[in-house]
Structure 1
């Protein structure tokens, strides 16, 4: 489980792709805290750490993860948001996240609003039905509050801390981002749907 509070901005060192998936190698100051087999959220996708050497470690990314996320678009030099799995004795500062990306969105607008930056993201209506104003959503693994939503887009407002500590600070229109909606909304939908039949 994760909270969406990014712990480090890592750098992709290499991406080795073949027909079976991809192997990502990442460099991060978090490496000394990671053990073989630990879960790490990479741009919001829960992956298993392997091959830890110094400040570098790797991840095997299966085809399912490549299809459902933006990880397949990463190249050497890409900045990635990293979060270690939540410990049982830690404070839940963001919101409950599983690292199971529900889909992707495309940044369709960016505007400054005082010291914050408003980012508009377009995504599939099947995903937007779980997005509510003032609710939580994970964008590239960052826990954010939805500030506006309509039938095709939603807005999130980024404070200076988020702009500095995550890769969302360097985002641009057209960029693909990973989205994970609030898991509670999906459970409620399933339970209500079962009783409505």
Structure 2
């Protein structure tokens, strides 16, 4: 489990396809602190460390992950938001994030406002993938507060620190991002669907 508080960014240094899988090697400041079989969130996707060498480590994304996320679009040199799994005795600074991406969204607007940045994202909505005003959503692994929520889109406001220390500073109109909707909202939506269809 994660909190959506990105620790740093890692840079893609190698990509290797093996049948339907993609092995991703990243250069990361905390690589020497990792262990084999450890879980790390990459743009919000929980992946397992399979190899470590110096300041680099490798994870594997399976075909299902590549279909549901933006990891299949990676290129050498790309910047990825990374977060190690949350300790049981740690503070929950963001919100409960599972590292299980629900879908992707497309950035449709970027605007500056008094030093901050607003981003609008559009996605293919369904009954279980919803945002609510002032609720939580995870965008590329970053825990954020929803504003201007619509049926298939929402905005988030990014403070300068988040802009500088995550890959948000690379987002442009057309950028595809990973979304994980709030787990509590998903359970409530599912229960309502079951109850109403009885």
Q: TM-score, normalised by structure 2?
A: 0.96
Deviations 1:45-71 (CA, angstroms, capped at 9, x unpaired): 000001111110001110000000000
Q: Distance in 2 between matches of 1:73 and 1:149?
A: 27
Match for residue 5 of structure 1? 5
Report how far residue 194 of structure 1 moved.
2.8
Match for residue 181 of structure 1? 181
Q: Distance in 1 between matches of 2:183 and 2:52?
A: 31
SS at match of 1:149: coil
Report how far residue 126 of structure 1 moved.
1.4
Contact 2:163/2:169 (CA < 8 Å) preserved in 1?
Answer: yes
Match for residue 61 of structure 1? 61
Report how far residue 128 of structure 1 moved.
8.0
> Equivalences for 1:65-84 in 2 at 5 Å?
65-84=65-84
Q: Distance in 1 between matches of 2:193 and 2:10?
A: 41
Report how far residue 43 of structure 1 moved.
0.3
Q: Is 1:19 matched up with 2:19? A: yes
> Equivalences for 1:1-197 in 2 at 5 Å?
1-126=1-126, 129-196=129-196, 197=198
Runs of 4+ in 1 over 3 A off after TM superposition: none
Q: TM-score, normalised by structure 1?
A: 0.96
Report how far residue 73 of structure 1 moved.
0.3
Contact 1:31/1:57 (CA < 8 Å) preserved in 2?
Answer: yes
Deviations 1:129-179 (CA, angstroms, capped at 9, x unpaired): 520110000000000101111233210000001001100122111010000
SS at match of 2:148: strand
Tell me: CA distance 1:125–1:114, structure 2 relative to 1, closer, same or farther (3 Å).
Answer: same
SS at match of 1:190: helix
Instruction: Give the number of aligned pairs.
Output: 197
Q: Distance in 2 between matches of 1:193 and 1:125?
A: 15
SS at match of 1:125: coil
Unaligned segments of structure 2, at least 5 residues? none
Contact 1:103/1:127 (CA < 8 Å) preserved in 2?
Answer: no
Q: Distance in 2 between matches of 1:128 and 1:158?
A: 25
Contact 2:22/2:62 (CA < 8 Å) preserved in 1?
Answer: yes
